[in-house]
Amino acid sequence: MSMLDFFFRELSVFRGGWHAWFLLSLQDVKGRYRRSVIGPFWITLTSIFFVMGLGLVYSRLLNLDLKEYLPFLACGIIVWTFILGFINEGANSIIGAGHIIKQISMPFLVHVMRVVFRNVIIFLHSWVILVPLLMWYGYLSPYGLFCSVVGICLIVFSLTPLVTLLAVICARYRDVLPMISSGMQLLFFVTPVMWHPNQLAGLSLVIKYNIFVYFIDLVREPMLNGYFPLKSAIVVFVFGAVLWAVSFLALFLNRKKISYWL
């Protein structure tokens, strides 16, 4: 199979082959909350309690106005939780689908997109609480809401090839999975999720070269300040475009080896 044929085979998951990962993702979400009365809306309730509890505690610890801090924290925590689950589960997507890969020949992106769409569904159950919360505090505008949706799409666009590349690496080297988990925990503390960038001027270089800062800005800035962060959008788009090329190359070069690694 030539590289071009492989490229079109993988891209078929976004045209006629989307039904497979779409239905598998829905099955995953339904299976997780089978026999539950409110089902996936437990995600919404959990997010509400977590954000409110954390906001009340840290606003007092940091001596900040709850009206300003709670919306900032809510946007940061919900987007970071989405990124964390996206990367941790996405990096394990090929390993988790090993029993399918060894029996059925289908594009590898089917297994990646299964995890991607599952995390998008879970994220949307948490993201919806931001709308009434920010409206209550007088932050959200229709334009800001629209821009935040565009930001979410850009995040998915860039994180999908990242987890595809990580999934290939993790299938070959299993020690990378716990390394990713540990690395994400460290990045949480140097990413302005719970604190404002202006509070830690000494970490300006870390913030400048931390790609997750731009991810969070794509959702938080439109919802809080009502404008679209063009600089963050350009950085995230270029980051994603480069990773799409790298991830396709990694899949092509290892297409015959992946099933033997599982």
Question: pTM, whole model, 2 decimals?
Answer: 0.90
Name the pLDDT band for 36 (thresholds 50, 70, 90).
Answer: low
Each residue of 211-223: pLDDT tens digit?
A: 999 999 999 999 8
Name the nearest CA neighbour of 219 among 79, 118, 80: 79
* pLDDT of 154 above 90: yes
Name the pLDDT band for 100 (thresholds 50, 70, 90).
Answer: confident
Q: What value does the mean pLDDT take over residues 34-41?
A: 67
CA dihedral 247→122→37→18, nearest 10 degrees, is -50
* pLDDT of 247 above 90: yes
Give the mean pLDDT of the chain.
Answer: 85
CA 201, CA 167: separation in Å to the nearest integer?
35
Q: What value does the mean pLDDT take over residues 93-101?
A: 88
Torsion-angle region of 4 (φ positive above 0: left; ψ -120 to 50: alpha; else: beta): alpha
Q: What value does the mean pLDDT take over residues 102-110?
A: 86
Name the pLDDT band for 200 (thresholds 50, 70, 90).
Answer: low
Amino acid 230: pLDDT: 92
Position with higher pLDDT, 43 vs 72: 72
CA 129, CA 81: separation in Å to the nearest integer?
14
Helix/strand/coil (H/E/C) assignment for every residue in 151-208: HHHHHHHHHHHHHHHHHHHHHHCCCHHHHHHHHHHHHHHCCCCCCCHHHCHHHHHHHH
Name the nearest CA neighbour of 229 among 214, 208, 245: 214
* pLDDT of 40 above 70: no
Name the pLDDT band for 199 (thresholds 50, 70, 90).
Answer: low
* pLDDT of 101 above 70: yes
φ and ψ at 261, to 5 degrees? -80, -15
Name the pLDDT band for 92 (thresholds 50, 70, 90).
Answer: very high
Amino acid 86: pLDDT: 92
Q: What value does the mean pLDDT take over residues 182-210?
A: 79
Candidate ranges 24-33, 87-96, 194-203; pick with highest mean pLDDT: 87-96
